[in-house]
Structure 1
């Protein structure tokens, strides 16, 4: 039996990777029969041995999905209604007797199309040959059937139709629960609920998993992971974001959603100066690193020799033990930060553990003769010998975009030793130049941002970053 997934028509490049991640998490073999980012409908099937209980597999796959609405047992499809009815008879006539006395309802879902009430009724009554004699129940029927139609924009007739029987609805309602509008503690850098939950799905957050965010901010990713049952903690270079003020803080967010028992706490640190034991015990790392636009990227440390040694106060007390101590910071290369995140993940993740990292893609070149822009990547996808890239998802804005990169930690036996030695040697070379230069020298995304992502010879324009910068 084939199944139809009704997706949302938003964040299209995220939908298939999220579904694949959920299939892997549930240990389900999934075959894509049809998928297109241009369509909200996809057809999948579950090969043997799940085929014997494919409805249960479909339910397991979709119940925590964020970018879909529901999954349906596919009863038939066609390019018009005559071919649809013929396919329904061919596929499912043997199933009609077991449903004929159950309560049921029919509805029509027309993507990019519409119908009058009379047309709705005619479409539904055209399936009278199925012989359902049970009572019609509009709320919570035993069987809910949906006639799906897909139209080309402004076309009078559908280009494709199908009939599906509802198996399960998705977990998309969680978006409303975790909406930033309802959350007690947020900041300008808080990731929206929808993409936070999608990131948690890609990271395989689940009961018994331990997830960490090294740029925790107000805790959007840990909150999303805790929603799926994972234990979580985080750190941030700016402790004020964790502590909050006036009774609003990260801890309070977990209390609001009833997941305080899953929050292990937060601490002040950066990836180059972390108190965490260098051991592979993390199941997932999720992060949206700072882009260094408002102010240049910083990391703990100093290039001044006088601040690289222990500083003593007049009374002999070490300066770093004073209550008013502010640690020195130095400018930080964006490329170096991406490499640090990957290397940290390779050191800390368990086998098959996942890293989900957001990164910006800057660049669009415009000309006076045409309005279209040709995007040019500012940063290549970072690579690490111990990490395998699983998926790349892109969120587009006007003149720039950002990608969600998902990596899987390879088993040590699958890591190329020579490649690892070469990678370590390259990183030693990068360390020697880290912190040397201006914020713009070390962050080409920041430089392109203030150029409006256009050719430097053209007038500069500014575009506001949506949430994270």
Structure 2
């Protein structure tokens, strides 16, 4: 096992580890990979903090990954969206004196001596700091004991890397203030730069042939595809396809994809020609990315009245449910909650059944977010293959969120929970893996209106000791995404009134 230094972009720090482990597992080395933070104790001895148990004041751009081969490091850099570069780590320390001492141990010498006769270039940089004039040369000269022979700035065979990591300091100061007071200095060899970040530009929504006001931004849709472990031979489904953002990225990584939505107009877009299916909105953009042949189909239906007749079909379900900031979730049903739909078709002009007309839109009512979340998880448990993944965004009111908000479901295990914070509200990318080995116990969900049923139950029962707090109020955990649309817009209107 060799140690590699992974350099991350300064964004979405809570997404890093789930993406890294997802791609490592996809390529078969997740069980051997070890990830730690590059910490040193005050006495210079090495720490062993993991990403889970270490919470620095500000997100750090580096992690150390132990891998079996350089090829594995290249796989991570070529697929992980958040990785800027990967280096073979030869030494790191809280000071240069200790760094040079460690770099001259037999273990480190065995790593860098094979490159002594290779033309080299050395890149010296710092995080959250600017070098004063002249000190870069001093740093380079301090490695003179390595006796590297040939410098080549234009065509080096090896690029050496030295980087000082400083704490993020806020406020006005001289750009070189605190020079030398770094947390760690790292030294090693560049293995590869991260190439996957270029895909953010490729899938930029503004450059897309077809998009809408709810289209997922490129970086997030790519992260979702990675969380879903999209790849050749995988079958992936988006039950809230909209304008297809998750379909394109999953298909780009080699998966076959299927999309559905309660509103087919979003998937179709403006049809240029009724006889030309390539003019459909999603197909236009898929053709732009060269993945139209991987779009199996897109169909219009409500997942609460879905056509699936068996489970265990999909390798992943990747979706962004409409949670109400720009478009609220809907389901087929009467606007009067609890009232069943009529079995008698509604007849319109000339005795024609309304549902046979191309312009027909079925009666719909709001789909409460907490109901949708639990339904989606139960639906995924039924539709996924063993080991398959459900990846979806969960909106939440920041100050009200708790870990209990992600519903527990037998046979399903949460393996990722990353936050994209917008202040008073946030959305969390939840990744849940199906651990159930077969479909004997997985039943198709009933898609009950739980919120309505609970209100009816409360109205018709007497309080008992088991459901009453000491203050006389009924005990029930209310997730932060319950009635999210109302909470969000109430807060937004209150902010507007406060400003005015």
- The TM-score range, normalised by the shorter chain, is 0.7 to 0.9
> 3-state DSSP class of the match of 1:266?
strand
Q: Cα offset for 1:315?
A: 5.1
**Partner residue in 1 for 2:26:** 25
- 173 and 308 in structure 1: CA distance in 2 versus 1, 3 angstrom threshold: same
- Residue by residue, what CA displacement relative to the aligned partner does 1:289-324 show, whole Å, maximum 9, x if unpaired? 111345653211325667343334575543311233
**Partner residue in 1 for 2:491:** 452
- When normalised by structure 1's length, the TM-score is 0.84
Structure 1 residue corresponding to 2:230, chosen from 199, 202, 205: 205
1:405 and 1:31 map into 2 onto residues whose CA distance is 23
RMSD: 2.8
Alignment of 1:212-251 (within 5 A): 212-245=237-270, 249-251=281-283
Contact 1:299–1:329 at 8 Å: present in 2 too?
yes
Alignment of 1:62-461 (within 5 A): 62-90=77-105, 91-116=107-132, 118-139=134-155, 141-154=156-169, 155-157=178-180, 158-170=182-194, 171-245=196-270, 249-294=281-326, 296-302=328-334, 303=336, 307-313=342-348, 317-364=352-399, 375-377=400-402, 380-412=405-437, 430=450, 433=453, 443-452=482-491, 460-461=494-495
Q: Cα offset for 1:4?
A: 0.8
1:33 and 1:337 map into 2 onto residues whose CA distance is 37
Contact 2:398–2:423 at 8 Å: present in 1 too?
no
**Partner residue in 1 for 2:466:** none
- 400 and 181 in structure 1: CA distance in 2 versus 1, 3 angstrom threshold: same
2:192 and 2:378 map into 1 onto residues whose CA distance is 40
**Partner residue in 1 for 2:3:** 2
- 376 and 297 in structure 1: CA distance in 2 versus 1, 3 angstrom threshold: same
Q: Cα offset for 1:44?
A: 1.7
Contact 2:215–2:245 at 8 Å: present in 1 too?
yes
Q: Cα offset for 1:377?
A: 4.4
- Could you tell me which runs of 5 or more consecutive residues in structure 1 were left unpaired when the two chains were aligned: 365-374, 437-441, 454-458, 464-469
Contact 2:375–2:445 at 8 Å: present in 1 too?
no
Q: Cα offset for 1:147?
A: 0.5
- Residue by residue, what CA displacement relative to the aligned partner does 1:130-164 show, whole Å, maximum 9, x if unpaired? 1221341335x321111111112343321210102
- Could you tell me which runs of 5 or more consecutive residues in structure 2 were left unpaired when the two chains were aligned: 38-50, 170-177, 273-278, 457-480
2:496 and 2:430 map into 1 onto residues whose CA distance is 26
Q: Cα offset for 1:404?
A: 0.6
1:121 and 1:9 map into 2 onto residues whose CA distance is 27
- When normalised by structure 2's length, the TM-score is 0.79
2:253 and 2:397 map into 1 onto residues whose CA distance is 33
> 3-state DSSP class of the match of 2:89?
strand
